[in-house]
Amino acid sequence: MTSDQAKNEIALRIEKKNITSSRKNSAGSSIMKGFSFKKPNTAGSNNGGQLPEILNQILEEVAQEGSLSLVKAAVAMGADPASKMKKSKHEALAKATTAGHARVVDFLIRNGASFGEVRLKVRFTPTDYALLSATYKGHAELVSCLIASHGANPMTEQWPREIEETQHYWAETQVRLPKLSVLDGISRWNNVADGMS
């Protein structure tokens, strides 16, 4: 898909969202007609304020679909991969990661998206944990991308959360529990040779 075709597709999706939101607004105003107060007409002034929000929603959709050309077009038209709003959290990066779209994840990270803030006293970063998740889902290309291009730690490991909080108990009882790790995740792949490369 060319960049012009991708931009046209994004424009069509924007138009669909505008039509849907205008239908919701008109349905709400028809209910209000029975009351004595009037709802001001804010459709023209509010549309400019809604466009970035609509673009960010479309960015989430196309990131989940895995279309890199549509993701690039949405970003070129004003969608923000790193957008964090108070009311709604845009999760284009999380959706692309869950679906295993390595090229989309790479593009979003290079354009400012992140998996979260690095916390003090935590051994691994959010990118490391995204790597761990991608490994257990068998997304070999994404695993390679996160390690080679974005510095994810291939030695990432994690105890199951409920066990992590009670490690002292498990240490006293000498019970061996499974720990999630990148190497364990790769060993579970159907084609381990892909993972080891």
What pLDDT was estimated at residue 37? Answer: 42
160: its two tokens: 């199951």
pLDDT band at 1 (very low <50, low <70, confident <90, very high): confident
Who contacts 29 (Cβ-Cβ below 8 Å, separation ≥6)?
39
The secondary structure element, H or E, covering residue 173 is: helix 167-173
- CA neighbours within 13 Å on the CB side: how many for 107? 21
Rounded Cα–Cα distance for residues 189 and 168 (Å): 32
Write phi, then psi, for 179 (nearest 5 degrees). Answer: -115, 135
- Segment 143-161 mean pLDDT: 86
The structure tokens 């990148």 sit at 182
The secondary structure element, H or E, covering residue 130 is: helix 126-137
User: Is the pLDDT at 112 greater than 80, yes or no?
Assistant: yes
CB distance 75 to 59 below 8 Å? yes
pLDDT band at 175 (very low <50, low <70, confident <90, very high): low
Who contacts 25 (Cβ-Cβ below 8 Å, separation ≥6)?
43
Instruction: Give the amino acid at 40.
Output: P
What pLDDT was estimated at residue 32? Answer: 44
Rounded Cα–Cα distance for residues 81 and 89 (Å): 11
pLDDT band at 85 (very low <50, low <70, confident <90, very high): low
**DSSP 8-state code for residue 180:** E
Of 37-46, 63-72, 97-106, the poorest mean pLDDT is in 37-46
Q: Work out the percent of the chain whose per-residue pLDDT is above 90.
A: 38
Rounded Cα–Cα distance for residues 12 and 20 (Å): 12
What pLDDT was estimated at residue 97? Answer: 94
